[in-house]
């Protein structure tokens, strides 16, 4: 039997908080608007298990793309796409040693943030 209640219309946001102190405290810890784009890019980079695995592996030691592909179960071209995504956010850098390019975590905050996200999953162990 269909419901007789009307779908709720979108209500405008309250202009005054119910609890001003709690609201002020919560607003102080929100991501600042000036950082929202960066946060979005980092969350997109973290939104893939292969990249999480790569971050964990690179936190231990620099690795060649072929080794990253092997340990993450990806093809070399698939691994390269993930490496590119991590490089685009500044979390991974390449270092050439002779004819071998090894990737390592950068010293940028993006690498520290992604590593913290990856390590957060240790709670599942």
Three-state DSSP class for 100? strand
Which tens digits make up the pLDDT trace of 47-88? 999 999 999 999 999 999 999 999 999 999 999 999 999 999
Cite the DSSP H helix spans in the chain.
20-28, 36-46, 49-60, 65-72, 76-88, 109-120
User: What average pLDDT does range 93-118 have in this prediction?
Assistant: 96
Which tens digits make up the pLDDT trace of 2-55? 555 555 567 767 688 899 999 999 999 998 888 899 999 999 999 999 999 999
Closest C-alpha to 56, from 101, 20, 92, 5: 92
> Can you list the domains of the chain with their CATH numbers?
34-124 (1.10.10.10)
Is 0.85 topped by the overall pTM? no
């Amino acid at each position: 039997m269909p419901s007789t209640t009307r779908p709720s219309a979108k209500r405008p946001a309250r202009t005054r908080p119910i609890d001003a102190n709690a609201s002020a405290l919560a607003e102080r810890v929100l991501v600042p608007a000036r950082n929202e784009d960066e946060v979005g890019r980092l969350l997109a980079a973290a939104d893939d298990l292969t990249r999480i695995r790569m971050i964990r592996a690179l936190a231990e030691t620099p690795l060649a793309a072929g080794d990253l592909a092997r340990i993450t179960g990806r093809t070399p071209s698939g691994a390269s796409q993930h490496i590119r995504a991590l490089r685009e956010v500044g979390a991974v850098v390449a270092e050439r040693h002779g004819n071998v390019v090894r990737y390592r975590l950068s010293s940028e905050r993006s690498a520290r943030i992604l590593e913290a996200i990856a390590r957060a999953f240790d709670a599942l162990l």
